[in-house]
Structure 1
Amino acid sequence: MSPFHRHAIHRRKSSILIQPQGQPELPAPAAAAAAAMTLDLNLTNIQGDILIGMKKNKEKFFFFSINDRKIFKQRLKSGAKFITTTTQLVDVNKQPAAMVNVAFSQTGLQAMGFYHFLNDFHFSGGQFREAAELGDPGTDQWVGTFRGKKVHGVFLLASDSTTVIDAEWAAVNQLFGSSITELYTLSAEARPGDQAGHEHFGFLDGISQPAINGFTANPAPGQSIVAPGRVLLGRDGDERMLGRPSWAKDGSFLVFRQLKQLVPEFNKFLRDNPLLLPGLTPEQGSELLGARMVGRWKSGAPVDLAPVFDDPTLAQDPMRNNNFDFSYPGEDLASNQTRCPFSAHIRKTAPRADFRSGNPEHHIVRAGIPYDPEVSTGEAAANATQQDRGLAFVAYQSDIDEGFHTLQQRWANTVEFVHNKTDPTPGFDPIVGANNGQSRFVSGLDPSDPDRDFNLVVDFVQSRGGEYFFSPSISAITDVLTADI
């Protein structure tokens, strides 16, 4: 019997997941099962984190290396039945005490004896070699564990209790024993109170999560509907399916990035540069600048629908808060930035009508969660970050190049995107855009002067590194990856 069996058999009264008002809801268990039947989508074979997204209460990431292939594979096979599935996670009555998922890097698969090409060159090469390509200023600021290819895998554990997570990890650790070495741990959790679902800058996150056809029973208005193969390998919509081994079906590529957020510095920038529009106080002008940088107000209301003042009622209504595409009758989509700048984070990473056919091939399921504490009074007073905090960025997709890599390199970091404009040039994404440590310019933020450039000399979001992983299906773990070879 697996030593973490005692934690897996558990009847819950409250969910591992959170449901912030304004975010699209997950389907009810019966609706998810019914929707999955239409495409023969086996939710009991898919690891739970992949389709759920940014709704965990508390989570820890345990990065490890494999020391003994034979023992590790034996223990993984015996413990595989306790890896949490999508079926379990959507139903609070079936949730274990803690969600347990696992994913492997390319070097991790090789350490298990598998040298198969999964038809994704980013995954094969690893994230370390792509630091400059992603705009990172260098790997000297990366967490040491992520430098090189020493990480073989990651266990993802989530619950509503840190004590439960720690007990579950102790059981997992006992199971694998000396066959693995824990290299690095990152603890994360939803922010407290009414900030649950908000990232550390204060903005409600996850509103524009795509709906997965065959999983999402009732997509909200404006919610993009994507084929399951955009997230899951081997499914309809996976354009690289023919170059992949059959056992990779129902797995997904997990992109992990530890993104440090300089919250006091970000807030100071807003205070120092209020948008001076008629009728606005300096404080309101600062709030508007932040909203136009992100493309949403902190409440989650989009500036496209609430261009000057926040609208919390709109923000809390999932039937309206994502139902826009930046286009309006009689307005030139390629020149008008009155409502939402071309450079705004949500427009850079989800262009909507800026692409005539939309951008279904570039969607990702984001499953990130904030890490480390709230800003202290001392940090706020000094306008300086003194303790590492930020976002444990997690994204799932079937093609890293069409997913995360396009969003970061070709969109957020490309100054002419969107519309390939040069008059004015939109500039970098002011939130996640990166220029290898150099200053960045952004235009369109001031609605009274869209040609005005803002020069950002500080990256408010800074990479601490990461890795590319593959989250296999349950059957791939039990029938292939743990087989004797």
Structure 2
Amino acid sequence: MKLTHFSLLVAFVLQGVYAVPNLPSNDLKPRRTSSILINPAAQPALPSAQQAASSSASVGLNLTNIQGDILIGMKKNKELFFFFSIVDPTSFKSQLGADILPLITSTTELLAVSTQPNTLVNIAFSQRGLTALGITDNLGDSLFTAGQLNDASSLGDTTSNWVSEFAGTSIDGVLLLASDTVDNINNTLSQLQSTLNGSISEVYSIQGQARPGNEQGHEHFGFMDGISNPAIDGFSTPLPGQAVVAPGIILVGEQGDGTTRPSWAIDGSFLAFRQLEQRVPEFNKFLIDNALSEPNLTVDQNTELLGARMMGRWKSGAPVDLTPLVDDPVLAADPQRNNNFNYTHPDFNLATDQSHCPFSAHIRKTNPRADIGGSFSEHIIRAGIPYGPEVTDAEAASNVSSTDPTLERGLAFVAYQANIGNGFAFLQQFWANNINFHTSSVGQDPIIGVATPDGPRSVGGLDPLDSTRDITLNQDFVISRGGEYFFSPSLSAIQNTFSA
């Protein structure tokens, strides 16, 4: 059955499954027998549907009203980001309620294989998109209102590196389509394009996918990702060492969100999207050229040690704070242990000792734990995915990334938060890019930090034998290709405000 046959507004029924009169809900969202998501052992597992229902009831969260991508973290297998412009607002609003809303995937649906759709469909809108739809309410987030291009200099971006579509002013929204196969995604996209023909136009798209084989869950530099996402009170049970945040840190209008919002915005979240190119051959060459000199380690081990201290974790996901000199894959694969640290140790001076983990390490810069008291509100849910192919033999041999745009690789970075200025933008500007964060002249984050103005940067603490030694990075290994800020509304808002 084609999407164009849908003509009636969706009604909410038990467990967040949608029904249209005279049309079985299973026809709307064909169900699965295997999970749409990946579940690497190192990453925190999602709660079961029963666990989430019990937890959410205790704080009043309505998981059937929250779009599914927001709370699941970095669990997608394949994902397409389809950025669009609204050409015919009147038609689009009608189609949004009648044809698109029945396909929007809620959080509840993703927590059990039996309720997962063949393809996750979520949608979010830029400020330009809200304006095009006649939504004039102030959402209380100035960075969202102004857009990411206006924020580029504060983030340290060089806009000449931006993809032209992000540097323009034509993106009204983004469709997020995720599944376990590209065919599922392409079939769903084809249906959506057919249904929305004439009301939207494609501006840009990025296809992401989990890396193959044993690299599943790892980003392109090779490090396991997504371990340190916080637990949301009312959604998941925290693991040892995992931060617990009030739902209003991530979800607009919920407990912990101190900003005044329009009532319809509750259960939405601000989506910060970034296309982050990763220059993998250059990164690997830098590690070889600057390998550390720890006694009793081979050259290869000292090379890996430098990378681990830059990231704050070994490639397996094991934190250097718990295993400073050698990787421990068994620890890495144990969620009860791999996040249970806060940089403190017995007989240890937290303010000066970098023997376990450098102050500048990526995961320490972006989640400082005990460095600032252990409890803070600057948290995000990271829900990105790698994009682009694996490094080619020619690139590996030359230690230089190809200039062929089809070989560009990196991270389609997604961060959800209730306040961009207290979430993603804060972490990038005031922690990652700040050479004095934690202590004087520690340097920028060696992975995602950038110097302003652009140029070489010195990073301290990377050498465990001499924490006063600075190592110079003459190039950035992560290049911002631009992005945009969006608002991901609740399902009830899509029905009652966006399509009304």
TM-score by length of 2: 0.93
Instruction: Give, in whole Å, the separation in 1 of the partners of 2:56 and 2:169.
Output: 37
2:316 equivalent to 1:299? yes
Within a 5 Å distance, the mapping from 1:192-231 to structure 2 comes to 192-216=212-236, 218-231=237-250
1:357 offset after TM fit, Å? 4.4
1:89 offset after TM fit, Å? 1.1
- For 1:476, the aligned partner's letter is A
| 2:43 alignment partner, one of 3, 14, 23 | 23
SS in 1 for 2:43: coil
Within a 5 Å distance, the mapping from 1:300-315 to structure 2 comes to 300-315=317-332
| Residue 424 (structure 2) aligns with | 404
SS in 2 for 1:479: helix
SS in 1 for 2:196: helix
Instruction: Give, in whole Å, the separation in 2 of the partners of 1:169 and 1:124.
Output: 28
Residues 282 and 401 of structure 2 are in contact (CA less than 8 Å); yes or no, is this contact kept in structure 1? yes
| Residue 384 (structure 1) aligns with | 400
Instruction: Give, in whole Å, the separation in 2 of the partners of 1:385 and 1:405.
Output: 28
The list of structure 1 runs, each at least 4 consecutive aligned residues, that deviate by more than 2 angstroms after superposition, is 1-9
SS in 2 for 1:31: helix
- For 2:382, the aligned partner's letter is R
| Residue 277 (structure 1) aligns with | 294
| Residue 426 (structure 1) aligns with | 442
| Residue 118 (structure 2) aligns with | 97
Instruction: Give, in whole Å, the separation in 2 of the partners of 1:27 and 1:252.
Output: 20
Instruction: Give, in whole Å, the separation in 2 of the partners of 1:9 and 1:46.
Output: 17
Which sits farther off after the overlay, 350-359 or 291-300? 350-359
Cα RMSD between the aligned structures? 1.2
- For 2:363, the aligned partner's letter is I
Cα deviation per residue 1:129-163 (whole Å; 9 max; x = unaligned)? 11111011x21211111013211000000000100
1:4 offset after TM fit, Å? 9.0
SS in 2 for 1:181: strand
User: CA 1:407/1:452 → structure 2, altered by over 3 Å: closer, same or farther?
Assistant: same
Residues 342 and 374 of structure 2 are in contact (CA less than 8 Å); yes or no, is this contact kept in structure 1? no
Instruction: Give, in whole Å, the separation in 2 of the partners of 1:409 and 1:69.
Output: 35
1:193 offset after TM fit, Å? 0.7
| Residue 253 (structure 2) aligns with | 234
Instruction: Give, in whole Å, the separation in 2 of the partners of 1:120 and 1:149.
Output: 19
Cα deviation per residue 1:23-48 (whole Å; 9 max; x = unaligned)? 11100111111111111111110000
Instruction: Give, in whole Å, the separation in 2 of the partners of 1:356 and 1:133.
Output: 26
Cα deviation per residue 1:294-329 (whole Å; 9 max; x = unaligned)? 000000000000000000010001000000000112
Residues 126 and 149 of structure 1 are in contact (CA less than 8 Å); yes or no, is this contact kept in structure 2? no
1:90 offset after TM fit, Å? 1.2
2:108 equivalent to 1:87? yes
Instruction: Give, in whole Å, the separation in 2 of the partners of 1:248 and 1:188.
Output: 29
Instruction: Give, in whole Å, the separation in 2 of the partners of 1:82 and 1:89.
Output: 13
| 1:63 alignment partner, one of 65, 68, 83 | 83
SS in 2 for 1:178: coil
| Residue 473 (structure 2) aligns with | 456
Instruction: Give, in whole Å, the separation in 2 of the partners of 1:221 and 1:394.
Output: 25
2:380 equivalent to 1:364? yes
| Residue 348 (structure 2) aligns with | 331
SS in 2 for 1:406: helix
Instruction: Give, in whole Å, the separation in 2 of the partners of 1:40 and 1:278.
Output: 55
Instruction: Give, in whole Å, the separation in 2 of the partners of 1:312 and 1:371.
Output: 25
Instruction: Give, in whole Å, the separation in 2 of the partners of 1:8 and 1:335.
Output: 58
TM-score by length of 1: 0.96
SS in 2 for 1:417: coil
Residues 213 and 228 of structure 1 are in contact (CA less than 8 Å); yes or no, is this contact kept in structure 2? yes
1:117 offset after TM fit, Å? 1.1
Residues 94 and 499 of structure 2 are in contact (CA less than 8 Å); yes or no, is this contact kept in structure 1? yes
The unaligned stretches of length 5 or more in structure 1 are none
Residues 139 and 147 of structure 1 are in contact (CA less than 8 Å); yes or no, is this contact kept in structure 2? yes
Residues 361 and 445 of structure 2 are in contact (CA less than 8 Å); yes or no, is this contact kept in structure 1? yes
| Residue 18 (structure 2) aligns with | none
Instruction: Give, in whole Å, the separation in 2 of the partners of 1:312 and 1:97.
Output: 33
| 1:41 alignment partner, one of 61, 81, 87 | 61
SS in 1 for 2:340: coil
SS in 1 for 2:229: coil
Instruction: Give, in whole Å, the separation in 2 of the partners of 1:7 and 1:255.
Output: 33
Percent of aligned pairs sharing the same letter = 56
Instruction: Give, in whole Å, the separation in 2 of the partners of 1:130 and 1:406.
Output: 11
Residues 4 and 172 of structure 1 are in contact (CA less than 8 Å); yes or no, is this contact kept in structure 2? no
The unaligned stretches of length 5 or more in structure 2 are 7-25
| 2:489 alignment partner, one of 466, 472, 475 | 472
SS in 1 for 2:197: helix
- For 2:358, the aligned partner's letter is P
Residues 275 and 286 of structure 1 are in contact (CA less than 8 Å); yes or no, is this contact kept in structure 2? yes
Aligned length: 474
Residues 210 and 226 of structure 1 are in contact (CA less than 8 Å); yes or no, is this contact kept in structure 2? yes
1:191 offset after TM fit, Å? 0.3
- For 1:335, the aligned partner's letter is T
2:413 equivalent to 1:393? yes
- For 2:128, the aligned partner's letter is T
| 2:338 alignment partner, one of 321, 340, 358 | 321
Residues 8 and 98 of structure 1 are in contact (CA less than 8 Å); yes or no, is this contact kept in structure 2? no
- For 1:385, the aligned partner's letter is S
- For 1:92, the aligned partner's letter is V
- For 1:281, the aligned partner's letter is T
Residues 47 and 472 of structure 1 are in contact (CA less than 8 Å); yes or no, is this contact kept in structure 2? yes
| 2:435 alignment partner, one of 396, 409, 415 | 415
Instruction: Give, in whole Å, the separation in 2 of the partners of 1:339 and 1:479.
Output: 52
Instruction: Give, in whole Å, the separation in 1 of the partners of 2:131 and 2:305.
Output: 50
Residues 321 and 357 of structure 2 are in contact (CA less than 8 Å); yes or no, is this contact kept in structure 1? yes
Instruction: Give, in whole Å, the separation in 1 of the partners of 2:291 and 2:134.
Output: 57
